[in-house]
Chains A and B, each alone.
Chain A
Amino acid sequence: MNADGELEKLVEWVEGVRKRVHEIAGEWEDEEGSLIMILHAIQDEIGYIPRGVANELAKATGISLARIYEVITFYTYFRLTPPGNHEIHVCMGTACYLRGAESIQARLLQQIDLMKAAGGPKDDFQVDCVRCIGCCGLSPAVVMDGKTYGRLNPEDSPEILKQKPGV
């Protein structure tokens, strides 16, 4: 249950998002080939594309909700649910895979579990596999919150979790 203040804040947030969705749609109104660009712009701002936003976008653009969902669920980059606080992308491209990306991922997950079990920080780490992040020369590589860590080995991969302030 929301205290009144929180509810107000939520309403305000929703209203703000609604406004932005229409603004973004407006910016792209006269551009050809805009749906995916609009979705990018929205996700850049909100972090994901909630159902309500998709609904609003349908209204703002006249593109049907069916189409919008078809697109969101087709492209792995778009998310229907909020991301974790820290996003870890383990590269599973060819080069990284051959050089042990799977065990790095396993170690990371293990470490995150250990940290959780030890009552560690509440920060939730979201570990996703991605395909070739484009620095195969640095394989195996991991990206955490936009920063790339290359030439990792399973032993030192948990170190990158500590790179986060407050961890």
Chain B
Amino acid sequence: MLETATTVKAKINGTAVEVPAGTSILDAARMAGVRIPTLCSDPDLLPTAACGLCIVKIAGSNKQPRACATALADGMDVITHDGDLTRVRRTVLELILSTHPNSCLTCGRNGSCELQTLLGEFGVPEDRLEKRICDVPSDRSNGSITIDFSKCINCGRCVQVCQQVQNVWALSSLNRGIHTRVAPAGDILLAQSPCIKCGQCAAHCPTGAIVEHDETSAVWDALRDPDLFVSAQIAPAVRVALGEEFGYPPGTNLTGQIHAALRRVGFDAVFETPVTADLTIMEEATEFMKRFTEGSGPLPIITSCCPAWTDYMEKNHQDFIENFSTAKSPQQMLGVLAKTYYSEKKGIDPAKHFQVSIMPCTAKKYELERTDEMFASGYQDVDITLTTREVARLIKQSGLVFQDMPDEDADSLLGHYSGAGTIFGTTGGVMEAALRTAHFMVTGENLAKDALEILPVRGMKGVKEAEIDIAGTKVRVAIAHGMGNVDALLEKVRDARARGESLYDMIEVMACPGGCLGGGGQPYNISENIRVKRMEGLYQDDRDRELRFAHENPAIKELYRDFLGEPMGPKAHELLHTTYTARKKYKR
């Protein structure tokens, strides 16, 4: 069909609207200020058309199409709400409720649940129907996310995210009819499945069926323990998203308020993960330079600070293990430094130092015990990871009025970060930060102020490619985000390798769409729109910093001078690097 018109004109509840051709009735209605109830629709996903709530009437037609899956057509006269539709929608909700436990009060989604909200709005009648609740026991096997099958409404969003967006295929819909249920691949435990713990399923689930493995109470236990020195680290992507839990617009940078809140919650020290992001850059850029100029290892070098990605690679792309940067992720670097460098300086017994990381990420919970190297301090380097959502809960539980928090600085030793460190939280950020430093390492000069923002690596395109000129040498880079975009990229590299060619010198991969700012532990109701706002927040943070280069961070310089020695030197190697091994995709 040739699309001659680029917009369509139609009516929604009598109001004329004009929207781009191809816009769904659902989105068109939203633009016209009308909210049609939905449960299975998700702005990140193709319509599954499963719940049936969004049906609307079209004048002159006896069909009731699904607004989420039907494009608005020219001249359509849509009715989105009337008595008939409300009756049907209420019955749909009543039916869903008949297969759902009434356990809101103890549910991870209480207050943020799409189903609960609609049940509240529609006043579903008292139980006329038999309850039939799925009795498959919850799957808590993987420590990052928990699936409570009884709360699953089979909307299919998690399955679609895991299969189509992330291309992991850890989740599936099994059986059919009333017996339909979501289950890990092959009906095994999640921990035995190919799951990479990215948490995208949790981020897209409308209910409390998939939530992060909640560890707030363990953190409370630590905070209550008078013998423990409890420190926190805050990842870059958290600062521009946490506000959403407290009514701020997405992308609002609340770094200072978060510091203040965490201190009041009871943390003894508050660190900044971007500091060790700077450190990661120092290590990674050095590693890259060695491979690039001395051929000390294979190219392209591939970034490894996303644990979901390393897990994916270890299961699916084992031929690239050698290409991985051995530098640990910022989280792990901060953990080990907290328990060595910081504890030493402050005279804290590292055995009594309890390190909590605050991450946009569910996979980070898995990273804590990923390999023996995560215990480089002699203790578990990071004790607990809380996601952005959990920390919001922690703050609420503390009775703090977040909006009233003052701006405070982070801890002076591990709290000063550069703009390079903060953009780690967005896709392309690691690459950009690394290139800024690599340029310096090669040329001895910093990129000019107007050239240091490396635009080709920015943006939300699934795979980005760029050639950066460093003193006459071209560095070819590629960036992929969203796990589903990686296979094709690596396939290209493989093909080239088979021909004896090399396509790229450096590849950055982040498992989540948009990178960490779109992480599986971030506040709900994620969409491209919101990701872009969070991204802008991070780039603004970068611009707002005096420091824009990792290698210029005085804290980092001090760290090398006083403690680590040389980048990639023996001590750095012992504390800051890790290894990878091939893993089985299915463990049963």
A103 vs B163: C-alpha distance when bound (angstroms): 45
A68 vs B173: C-alpha distance when bound (angstroms): 11
Interface residue from B163, B174, B193, B588 paired with A73 (Cβ < 8 Å)? B174
Chain A residue numbers with a CB within 8 Å of B516 are: none
A66 near B176 (CB under 8 angstroms)?
A: no
CB-contacts of B446-502 with A (<8 A): none
B186 near A65 (CB under 8 angstroms)?
A: yes
| Interface stretch of the complex, out of B15-23, B164-172, B284-292, B555-563 | B164-172
Whether A69 sits at the interface, judged by CB under 8 Å, is yes
B172 near A74 (CB under 8 angstroms)?
A: no
A64 vs B188: C-alpha distance when bound (angstroms): 14
Interface of B is mostly: mixed
Whether A164 sits at the interface, judged by CB under 8 Å, is no
B185 near A66 (CB under 8 angstroms)?
A: yes
Q: Mark B173-195, 1 if CB is under 8 A from A, else 0.
A: 11110000001111100000110
Interchain nearest-CB distance for B567 vs A (Å): 40
A66 near B170 (CB under 8 angstroms)?
A: yes
A69 near B176 (CB under 8 angstroms)?
A: no
A51 near B588 (CB under 8 angstroms)?
A: yes
Chain B residue numbers with a CB within 8 Å of A65 are: 169, 185-186, 586
* Count, chain A residues at interface, CB 8 A: 13
Whether A152 sits at the interface, judged by CB under 8 Å, is no
A70 near B173 (CB under 8 angstroms)?
A: yes
Chain A residue numbers with a CB within 8 Å of B172 are: 66-67, 69-70
A74 near B186 (CB under 8 angstroms)?
A: no
Interface residue from B174, B187, B586 paired with A55 (Cβ < 8 Å)? B586
B586 near A70 (CB under 8 angstroms)?
A: no
Chain A residue numbers with a CB within 8 Å of B176 are: 73-74
Chain A residue numbers with a CB within 8 Å of B175 are: 73-74
CB-contacts of A49-74 with B (<8 A): 51, 54-55, 58, 64-70, 73-74
Interface residue from B170, B174, B193, B194 paired with A70 (Cβ < 8 Å)? B174
Q: Given the known inter-chain contacts A55-B186, A64-B169, A64-B185, please indicate yes or no for A69 contacting B174, CB distance below 8 A.
A: yes
A69 near B169 (CB under 8 angstroms)?
A: no
A58 vs B169: C-alpha distance when bound (angstroms): 12
Interchain nearest-CB distance for A120 vs B (Å): 33
Which has the most chain A C-beta neighbours within 10 Å: B193, B586, B588?
A: B586
A65 vs B187: C-alpha distance when bound (angstroms): 9
Chain B residue numbers with a CB within 8 Å of A51 are: 186, 588
Interchain nearest-CB distance for A70 vs B (Å): 5
A53 vs B184: C-alpha distance when bound (angstroms): 18
A66 near B588 (CB under 8 angstroms)?
A: no
Interchain nearest-CB distance for A74 vs B (Å): 5
A139 vs B172: C-alpha distance when bound (angstroms): 39
A54 vs B172: C-alpha distance when bound (angstroms): 15
Q: From B183, which residue of chain A is reached at the shortest CB distance?
A: A69
Interchain nearest-CB distance for B176 vs A (Å): 5
Chain A residue numbers with a CB within 8 Å of B169 are: 64-67
Chain A residue numbers with a CB within 8 Å of B183 are: 69
Chain A residue numbers with a CB within 8 Å of B193 are: 66
Q: From A75, which residue of chain B is reached at the shortest CB distance?
A: B176
Chain B residue numbers with a CB within 8 Å of A68 are: 186
Chain B residue numbers with a CB within 8 Å of A55 are: 186, 586
Chain A residue numbers with a CB within 8 Å of B588 are: 51
Interchain nearest-CB distance for B111 vs A (Å): 32
Provide a sorted-by-A list of 18 A–B residue pairs whose CB atoms are within 8 angstroms. Answer: A51-B186, A51-B588, A64-B163, A64-B194, A65-B169, A65-B185, A65-B586, A66-B163, A66-B172, A66-B185, A67-B163, A67-B172, A68-B186, A69-B172, A69-B187, A70-B173, A73-B174, A73-B176
